[in-house]
Structure formats: C-alpha cells, structure tokens
C-alpha cells in the first residue's frame, strides 16, 4: 500500500503538489540607513545579533540551487549594512545562482561596488523614493539620500551593471511618475518597477499618508501604458497597480508557495514578505530544517497551495487559477482571515467596505509619516 504519511496537504488536509521555486529573496539584514514609511520588512525587525552568518547563507544558497532556485535577490534592510556582503555574494555565485543586489545605494562606496562586481553581482536594483532631493530625502527619512543615490547610479553605469530602478508610488509622489520614468531612463535603467504601496506592516501604519486617490490610480495606469509604448525596446516597465481601486486582486507571489520564497535575516523561511502578519501561522527556520523539507513539507508553505482550500466566491470563480484568490496577507489585514477572498476583489462581500475605507484614507490630509525604525518593534 502507498505510504501517504508524507503527502503534503493544505490547511484543510487536501493533498497538494508543490512545484519548484525559481527565485529566492534573501533579506540578509534588517539594518538600514533609510526609514521609508512603506518598508516591506515586518514591524518586528530582526536585530543584528540574530542574523545568519555568511557561511550559513552559503549553505542556504547551495540548498536553494539544489531545490531548483535560479536567481537570488539579495536584499534587506540595506544589504550594504553587512560588512561581509561580498562574501555572501561570492557564496551565491559559487552556488550557481544569478545574483541581483537590491539596494538603497546608501553606504556602498565605489570601491565596495567594484568588490561586489568581482564577487559575482550580476544585476543591481536601486530604490528611488522621489524625483527631487527634498522629496527623496523626506520620504526616505534620510537627509542627503538623493545625492548619494545619484552618485551610486553613476558608478553602476561606469562599472557596467544592468540596472533596474525600484519606484514605490503612493499619494505623495504618484503625480510625478512621468518624471520618474524620465529619470530612470536618464540613469540608464533597462527596467523600472513601478510598485504602488502594498498596505501591510509599516505601510498599513501609514495608510492615511500614503493611500492614493482613485484619480491618481487611473493616472498612473495611463502613464504606465503610454510609457510601455514609448519606451519599447529601451526600458521595460513592470507595474504593481493600486489594487484597492481595482476590480480584481493581484496574483500575489504568483500563488502561495508556488514559485518563490523569502528568507529573513535570522533564517526564517516565508512564503512571502508579509507572511508574518498571519499571526497564527508558524514559520520554520533554515537553522533547524533543510530548505527542501521546508519548501515541500512545512505547514506554512502547504497551507494555501492549490485551490481546494479556497472558500466561496473564489471556489466557484473562473479566475481562481489566474489570481489564486488574491493576497493572503491582504485578506488577513482587511478581513482578519487569511483564507478569505482578498477583500479588494469586487466579488468579495467586504469589497464595498474596503473601497469606502480606501477612499476615506485617500481623502485624508495628513502628510506625516510613521518612519520605519529599528526600535519601533522593540
């Protein structure tokens, strides 16, 4: 008789079949000189003393490559806050992974960037918070950040890294999106990720200062569509729309536990960056279990795999294999239930309520931020 004791199962006990991950986000530290009010790190930040060592990361990268991962996004916090970043990068390269460095550009000198080039960084992704010094410095909570970023972008071009610009957009900068596209082009970026703030963690604390209006969301969509035509062949625009003002939710992570995984600074393995907002879920750690076991067998990764766990209206909806019921963390934040239909979906019974709240937040006049600081989470 077939032994079914190791059959992966979703949170209702339905059998699921894990696929293989292609990309891994390695958050090597939560330390960061910036304090962006929409930071995707959890509100409870991991302190330096709990971070994995470079050699630990080396083992994790080898396990990831064995599991099928092709590329690693080395991120933070600010990965440059790790003195041993070049060693971490070299481990990723030795494991055969394509290495993308996601950075604020602050705290990495030209000599260090050259060292990272030699260690094996293949691609650089630079975050920009605004299109002018005053705007960028205020949003990032870091005076002088703009000048440092512009200098860093020059070095990236001189050394010859392919460059992607990360532009997080929200009510206080969305109208400058055309200038942001122009700036990215001027900096020689091959790609720009225009991502509307996702309201988890820190961003959720700043909803009233960040929520875009419906008009802004429509404007951003139009600028992205026009830009895609105008810049074809020169710069790719990836876009995460303002889903509170959309009809259907985004297919978050391409489906839970489907193609990607995140590892936090202390080795906690997460199906997405905001997963710890699902407070009842327990996450495993690479210090205790192999990455392959965590991917294939852990309750956290299997919980929302497949479609059998979905409640109505997702269960009977033809889009359930397109958007996978939306974002679990958004369902947790807005419905208080991680397995609910993402309430930004127009078919969700909570949709009208969510839209009304988003519109009220978008009408708020506050521009003050709760900045992301290490001591906020204790």
Contacting positions for ligand SF4 (CB under 6 A): 248-249, 313-314, 317, 319-320, 323, 325-326, 341-342, 345, 347
Q: Rule CB under 6 A: choose which of 69, 209, 211, 252 binds ligand FES.
A: 252
β-pairing, 269-270 vs 23-27, is unpaired
Please choose, out of 176-184, 326-334, 350-358, 366-374, the segment that lies near ligand FES by the rule CB under 6 A. Answer: 326-334
**Closest distance of CB 64 from ligand FES, Å:** 20
Does 253 interact with ligand FES (rule: CB under 6 A)? yes
Among 267, 363, 236, which Cα is nearest to 60's?
Answer: 267
**Closest distance of CB 338 from ligand FES, Å:** 8
User: In sequence order, what are the residues at sequence separation of 6 or more whose Cβ sits closer than 8 angstroms to the Cβ of residue 282?
Assistant: 299, 300
DSSP H or E run through 239: strand 236-240
* Number of continuous H segments (helices) and E segments (strands) in the chain: 13, 9
Q: Rule CB under 6 A: choose which of 205, 329, 334, 350 binds ligand FES.
A: 329
**Closest distance of CB 271 from ligand SF4, Å:** 18
Q: Rule CB under 6 A: choose which of 189, 274, 281, 314 binds ligand FES.
A: 274
Residue 135, token pair as written in the block: 């705007």
**CB-based burial of residue 153 (10 Å sphere; 0-12 exposed, 13-18 middle, 19+ buried)?**
buried
Please name the residue that has the structure tokens 């041993």: 84
161 contacts which partner out of ligand SF4, ligand FES, none, CB within 5 to 8 A by kind? none
248 contacts which partner out of ligand SF4, ligand FES, none, CB within 5 to 8 A by kind? ligand SF4
Residue 363: how many other CB atoms lie within 10 Å: 11
Q: 3-class DSSP state for residue 24?
A: strand
**Closest distance of CB 198 from ligand FES, Å:** 7
**Closest distance of CB 145 from ligand SF4, Å:** 37
Does 272 interact with ligand FES (rule: CB under 6 A)? yes
Residue 159: how many other CB atoms lie within 10 Å: 14
Q: Interface mask (CB under 6 A) for ligand FES, residues 50-89, using x and -?
A: ----------------------------------------
What is the C-alpha separation between 164 and 127, in angstroms, rounded? 9
Q: What are the φ/ψ torsions at residue 264 (nearest 5 degrees)?
A: -80, 170
Residues contributing to the site for ligand FES (CB under 6 A):
252-253, 256, 272, 274-275, 327-329
């Amino acid at each position: 008789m077939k032994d079914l004791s190791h059959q992966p199962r979703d949170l209702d006990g339905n059998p699921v079949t894990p696929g293989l991950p292609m990309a891994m986000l390695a958050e090597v530290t939560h330390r960061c000189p910036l304090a962006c009010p929409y930071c995707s790190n959890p509100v409870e930040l991991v302190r330096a003393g709990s971070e994995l060592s470079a050699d630990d990361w080396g083992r994790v990268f080898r396990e990831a490559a064995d599991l099928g991962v092709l590329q690693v996004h080395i991120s933070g916090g600010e990965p440059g806050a790790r003195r041993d970043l070049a060693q971490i990068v070299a481990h990723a390269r030795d494991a055969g992974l394509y290495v993308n460095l996601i950075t604020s550009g602050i705290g990495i000198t030209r000599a260090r960037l050259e060292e990272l080039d030699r260690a094996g960084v293949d691609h650089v992704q630079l975050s920009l918070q605004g299109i002018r010094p005053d705007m960028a410095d205020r949003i990032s909570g870091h005076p002088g950040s703009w000048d440092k970023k512009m200098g860093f972008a020059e070095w990236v071009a001189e050394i010859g890294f392919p460059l992607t610009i990360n532009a997080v957009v929200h009510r206080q900068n969305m109208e400058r999106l055309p200038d942001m596209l122009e700036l990215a082009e001027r900096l020689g970026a091959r790609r720009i990720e225009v991502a509307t703030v996702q309201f988890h963690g820190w961003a959720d604390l700043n909803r009233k200062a960040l929520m875009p209006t419906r008009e802004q969301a429509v404007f951003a969509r139009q600028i992205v569509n026009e830009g895609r035509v105008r810049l074809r062949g020169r710069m790719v625009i990836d876009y995460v729309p303002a889903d509170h003002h959309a009809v259907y939710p985004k297919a978050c992570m391409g489906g839970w536990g489907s193609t990607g995984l995140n590892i936090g600074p202390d080795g906690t393995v997460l199906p997405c960056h905001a997963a710890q907002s699902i407070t009842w879920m327990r996450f495993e750690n690479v210090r205790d279990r192999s990455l392959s076991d965590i991917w294939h067998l852990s309750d956290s990764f299997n919980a929302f795999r497949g479609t059998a766990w979905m409640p109505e209206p997702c269960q009977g909806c033809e889009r359930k294999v397109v958007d996978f019921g939306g974002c679990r963390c958004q369902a947790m934040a807005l419905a208080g239930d991680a397995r609910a239909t993402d309430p930004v979906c127009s078919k969700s019974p909570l949709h009208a309520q969510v839209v009304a709240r988003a519109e009220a937040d978008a009408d708020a006049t506050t521009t003050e931020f709760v900045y992301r600081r290490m001591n906020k989470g204790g």
